[in-house]
Amino acid sequence: MVAVALVTGANKGIGLEVARQLGARGITAIIGARDEERGRAAAELLGLPCVRLDVTDAAGIRAAATWIEQEYGRLDILVNNAGITFADGPPSQTSVEQARQVYETNVFGVMEVTNALLPLLRRSSAGRIVNVSSERGSLGRTLDRSHPLWPMLNLAYCSSKAALNMITVSYAKELWDTPIKVNTVDPGWVKTDINHNEGIKTPEEGAAPIVAMALLEADGPTATFVQHEGPLPW
């Protein structure tokens, strides 16, 4: 039976590459995209299906879940990749409105999508949820004065990723005694639109640890926070 995956924010960047790598392994990787036209273009490029999916649109998320159920009957892999940010700046100059926008996508969007798709993941013999986080959401790394992250300030983005880490742990605890595994992955500083292509890793490199977590064996871990180089401190 061919595995079915959904990748949010998959019409470009890391999400597109995750879908490509999953598809290359024979998985039906559905490209979830807020912009339907861009989603179709990406899907045609890779020969994969697509669905319109704006993670801030609850009705649209439910419609996508219904479509997946009708088309495939279940979901084996969910990659919560969609995310946004604003430019760095002192926390005291971060507007609450900007923070709300970031949280709507990076936090509440993940919850909305996961809750809508969880019934389909429960039908899988080996469900996998991978949340794409960031090292900048690590309290341990952020407070390490010897680490390159020390001078970086982005209250909305960093705190949203810290919240995402707790969301990961919370779902993992709920699903602890089921076949579903829930993990968080930091793809690293990847060249994408979100950082104006200033990263040091390629999308292929950034996608690799995400795909590895999506394809965990039955004895694989749950409730972890990792990057390509290994585990990260919470």
Residues noted as catalytic? 157, 161
Nearby residues of 63 by Cβ (< 8 Å), 6 or more positions away: 52
Say whether 156 sits in a helix, a strand or coil: helix
Residue with tokens 């899988």: 124
DSSP states along 57-121: -HHHHHHHHHHHHHHHS--SEEEE--------B-GGG--HHHHHHHHIIIIIHHHHHHHHHHHHH
CA angle 8, 195, 49 (to 5 degrees): 20
Residue type, 27: I
What letter does residue 24 receive in the DSSP assignment?
H
Cα–Cα distances in Å, from 122 out to 62, 65, 74, 168, 229?
Answer: 16, 13, 8, 16, 31
Sheet order of strands, 181-186 included: 50-52, 28-33, 4-7, 77-80, 128-132, 181-186, 225-227, 230-231
